[in-house]
Amino acid sequence: MRPEPALFLFLAAASCVLNPATGHQQLNLISESKEIEMGQQAAKEVTAQIGLYDDPNVELYVADLGKRLAALSDRPNVPFQFHVVDDASVNAFALPGGPIFVTRGILAHLTSEAELATVVGHEIGHVAARHSVNQLSKQELAQAGLGVGSILSPEVAALGQLAGAGLNLMFLKFSREDEDQADQLGFRYALKAGYDVRVMKDLFVMLDRVSQTGQGGKLPEWLATHPNPENRLKTTEERLTKTQADYSQLEVKRDSYLAVIDGIVFGENPRHGFFKGNSFLHPALKFKIDFPQGWKTQNQPQAVAGISPNQDAIFELAPTRAASPEMAAQEFSSQQGIQTLDVRKGNVNNLPAVSSYFRAQTDQGTLAGTACFVSLGGRTYVLLGYTTLAKLGAYEPTFQQVIASFNILTDPEALNVQPARVHVVKLPRPMTVTEFNAQYPSSIPVDQVALINGVDKNATIPAGEEVKRVIGGVRSQTAVSKAR
């Protein structure tokens, strides 16, 4: 039964409250306790699905900065958390109720602590202004109006799908007004903490340059998740002209920041797996597998997968928690809606294995495929190929070919591959970026060296300045990914 439209107007009006961070009336159908609960659940999912960057010093540095800024925010009592995500993209995001993440990719591109303060302050601004709650409230009201029900219904949570909403919370589409408010709040918090907020202009220039390069990680870049308000740079400049501050007393902290990120992984980390042509090689787990030619592949922290050109078949590989192929096969077949057929023990390239065909009932119809559970290096992996029931016969030979390619990785070059890392160099004399790159070669193009240093490649950098370059890494891979 649908409530009358007048009731929706009443609910919307009754749920509009004054936001202390912005001074604006805001739709709010979610309590603060629920907001915090949602954010903490989503943070667990982000940590599990994407992974945190394994460097305690970098993590502690970002957390300390974040806590200082959060204490100056309009919601200092919210249980803020600050983490570094192990992703190459240039991004940062806030979850409802306090969890805030920055990517190692954005850390590699920033040039000072003051810039980082404006980034983290921006994300704190989203939390302080309860932008996520506002967007979720609008969605919930809209869905209720359509008779769909709450997006956080007990039925959804009971089915275990609430956790799946966690990653979606990362990419709630904030409005341009929300972004402008977050910019303003981040500016205010950073200034209040004693940082030279003029660097915010450099930040927006860098983000725009990054968006034009098309480099990436698993997560989208900043401008893909943060709608860019018109004249954002101009708005910042206007904000600066209205700000009365003694900039000689404000801090940038360039050298101390560069000391923290010196050695940070740059780009995708091949130790977590990488593609070489259609072959996926995992140095840490010491396996390799060949995906079909022409399939689009992607690797995430918990699985590597390929999808057919017609997008009607998928093959994926993932670790299981089972101690043996037999146990993994039993757990798989015991899932509701799964029917297994023709279960067989055997081996794949002398590795113990259990395989079977299966059918799975879904809302879209019956899926069918082949599952193979293989033991290697003390771990059990599931190799799963599936399509529609009608197309299994056509794809079955391809699935079997991929399974047969799973083997121990023995190539010394692949086993010993190392990630590219940022290396900070103090200039012995004035140089342009081009001259710097000639004397201190990077494994990235000179334009990108200029980008990560926030300068034009033809600009002269004074002697004694610390400059970033990137050394090492894999140059020839078609796509480097990170599966664990």
User: Collapsing DSSP states into helix, strand and coil, what is residue 90?
Assistant: coil
Is the predicted pLDDT of residue 271 greater than 80, yes or no?
A: yes
Helix (H) or strand (E) holding 205: helix 199-213
Alpha helices in 334-463 (DSSP H): 392-405, 412-415, 433-439, 446-452
Using a cut of 0.85, tell me whether the model's pTM lies above it. no
Strand 460-461 and strand 351-362: pairing? Answer: unpaired
Crossing angle of helices 254-261 and 113-128, in 10° steps, is: 80
pLDDT band at 46 (very low <50, low <70, confident <90, very high): confident
Q: Residue 465: what pLDDT?
A: 96
- Is residue 468 over pLDDT 50? yes
Mean per-residue pLDDT of the chain? 82
pLDDT digits (tens, 9 = 90+) for 182-223: 899 999 999 999 999 999 999 999 988 888 776 656 666 666
Mapped onto helix, strand or coil, the DSSP state of residue 258 is helix
Interval 470-477 mean pLDDT: 71
Strand segments, DSSP code E, in 207-337 are 265-266, 274-276, 279-282, 287-290, 296-300, 303-307, 313-319
pLDDT value at 454 more than 80: yes
395-416 residue pLDDT tens? 999 999 999 999 999 999 999 9
What are the tens digits of pLDDT across the range 319-350?
Answer: 998 999 999 999 988 888 888 888 899 999 99
How far is Cα 375 from Cα 439, in angstroms, rounded to an integer?
48
Query: What is the sign of the dihedral through the CA atoms of 27, 29, 30 and 32?
Result: positive
Least Cα distance to 174 among 94, 278, 243, 54 occurs for 94
What confidence score (pLDDT) does residue 37 get? 87
Write out pLDDT tens, residues 79-98: 999 999 999 999 999 988 89
- Structural element, H or E, at residue 196: none
Q: Is the pLDDT of residue 478 over 70?
A: no
**131: confidence class by pLDDT, cuts 50, 70, 90:** confident
Asked whether the beta carbons of 466 and 426 are under 8 A apart, the reply is yes
Q: Which residue has the higher pLDDT, 423 or 305?
A: 423
Find the range with the poorest average confidence among 62-76, 374-388, 464-478. 464-478
